[in-house]
Amino acid sequence: MICARCGKEAKNFYENLCFDCYVERMKNIEINLRVCKKCNRYYVGTKGFDEREKAIDYYLRKFVSKRISLEIDKIPKEKLDIYEKEFICENCKERYSRKVEAVLQLRGEEKLVEEVFRRYLFLGRKVISGYDIDFSSKEELRNLIREIKRKYFVEIKITRKLVGIKDGKRKYKDTVLLKLYGKR
């Protein structure tokens, strides 16, 4: 068999054309991915992928494979026009909208910070100078601080931020900076 365009002999044909001719005449394929700003995962529709390559592959199989004669893994990379759009995925939206009434910023001597974190908290974000921990109740945070103060010398600074009004009352989010500088 010979190619209808270039006349070369070939084993595999794609709409009467050899591979090279088919690819040459093929229009670029547009791929639209969404990337979550929070978790950096790639999304095709509602399906999420950790790796960009996997998302592209899924997109090709789902939306492109039926309209081209080439197998998905034979499409040359330069034939793909990949567009990425930022958004926030449902998972992250849910996680970030969870009620946070107060944030504890644990700072100070590294050894003490680690000790307190392990003893009382366990869950939080590691930041350069210590840990940031979210609390859904200010009461819970107050009790914890009382306990820490019994065993450590601390310096506390509270910042209040107005976050809204509920039932005519102003709602504040507290950020409590707790600096540890010694044991009692």
Q: Does position 6 bind Zn ion by CB under 5 A?
A: yes
Region at 164 (left for phi over 0; alpha for psi -120 to 50; beta for the rest): left
Strand 102-108, strand 47-49: pairing:
unpaired
Report the nearest approach of Zn ion to the CB of residue 40 (Å). Answer: 7
Which of 26, 31, 35, 38 binds Zn ion (CB under 5 A)? It is: 38
Exposure letters 21-50 (e unless 16+ CB within 10 A, then b): bbbeebeebebebbbbeeeebbbbeeebbe
Which of 5, 138, 151, 173 binds Zn ion (CB under 5 A)? It is: 5
Shorter beta-carbon distance to Zn ion: residue 35 or 121? 35
Q: Does position 29 bind Zn ion by CB under 5 A?
A: no
Report the nearest approach of Zn ion to the CB of residue 77 (Å). Answer: 21
Q: Give the Å distances, CA to CA, from 141 to 104, 113, 117.
A: 8, 16, 13
Q: Does position 55 bind Zn ion by CB under 5 A?
A: no
Report the nearest approach of Zn ion to the CB of residue 92 (Å). Answer: 3
Which of 35, 39, 82, 121 binds Zn ion (CB under 5 A)? It is: 39
Q: Can you give the length of the chain in residues?
A: 184
Report the nearest approach of Zn ion to the CB of residue 162 (Å). Answer: 28
Q: Does position 44 bind Zn ion by CB under 5 A?
A: no
| Residue 68 CB partners (closer than 8 Å, separation 6+) | 26, 29, 75
Q: Does position 89 bind Zn ion by CB under 5 A?
A: yes
Q: Which stretch binds Zn ion (CB under 5 A): 32-40, 100-108, 114-122, 139-147?
A: 32-40
Shorter beta-carbon distance to Zn ion: residue 7 or 164? 7
Half-sphere CA count of 100, side-chain side, radius 13 A: 17
Q: Does position 18 bind Zn ion by CB under 5 A?
A: yes
| Residue 32 CB partners (closer than 8 Å, separation 6+) | 59, 83, 85
Q: Which residue ranges make up the site for Zn ion (CB under 5 A)?
A: 3, 5-6, 18, 21, 36, 38-39, 89, 92
